[in-house]
Amino acid sequence: MSLIGFDLAPRLCGWAAGSGEGVPEAGCIKLSDHGKDDGALGKLGAQFQAGVMSLHRRFPASHWICERPLLMPHDARWTLMRTYGLTCLLATIAEKLGVAFCFVDYDEAKIELAGTRKASKADMVFVAEKLGVALPPTKGDGREDAADATAVWKVGVRLFAPQYLKRLDQALYSTRGGLI
C-alpha cells in the first residue's frame, strides 16, 4: 500500500507520498498563472494533470487523500473556480487510474500532525520537520503546502495503514508527551 496526501491551491499544490513505514517524501506541484481568460482554467488543469501523472508514475499509490477545499469568504470567484476545478480534476484522475480517493477536513489534518486545529503554518512546518520530512526550502517553493500535505498523508496512514501509526506518533511526541 502506498499513499499520497494532497493540499491543493491555485498556485502551489503540496503533496506527500509514502507507505507509512517511514517518513514520506514531500514536495509541491507549482502551477503557472495563466490569467483569467476563458482558456486559462483549461491550461491550469492540463498543467496540474501533467504534474499529478508525473507524481503517480514516481509513486504509484493505491490511495489518494485530499484536503477538502478550504474557501474563505474573501476568495474571488476566479480562486473558487480554480480550487474546485483542481479538486474535481484530482478526483477524476484517481477514478480513471483506479486509485481510491477520499477527502479529509483541514482541522482533522492539523490535529493529526500537530495535535491541535489551531496550529499555524509555522507549527505545521516545524512538526513535519520533526517527523523527519524533507520539505522544499522556501515558502515560494511550497514549503508550507508540503507540510500541510504531510498532515493529510498522516490522516491517510491512520485510515488505511494504521499498523504504521504508532511509529510515526513516537517520532512526533517529545519526552513530555506533547506536540509542538
Beta-ladder partners of 117: none
Distance CA 82, CA 88 (A): 10
Alpha helices in the chain (DSSP H): 40-58, 77-97, 106-114, 121-131, 143-160, 165-172
Give 179 or 2, the one with higher predicted confidence: 2
Q: Report all structural domains of the chain as residue ranges with CATH numbers, in order of start.
A: 3-172 (3.30.420.10)
pLDDT at residue 78, rounded to an integer = 81
pLDDT digits (tens, 9 = 90+) for 119-160: 999 999 999 999 999 999 999 999 999 999 999 999 999 999
Mean local confidence (pLDDT), 36-56: 93
Query: How many other β-carbons are positioned within 10 Å of the β-carbon of residue 76?
Result: 9
In this predicted structure, the answer to whether residue 46 has a pLDDT above a threshold of 60 is: yes
pLDDT at residue 75, rounded to an integer = 67
Between the CA of residue 147 and those of 32, 89, 135, 140, what are the distances in Å? 21, 22, 7, 13
In this predicted structure, the answer to whether residue 3 has a pLDDT above a threshold of 80 is: yes
* pTM, to two decimals: 0.92
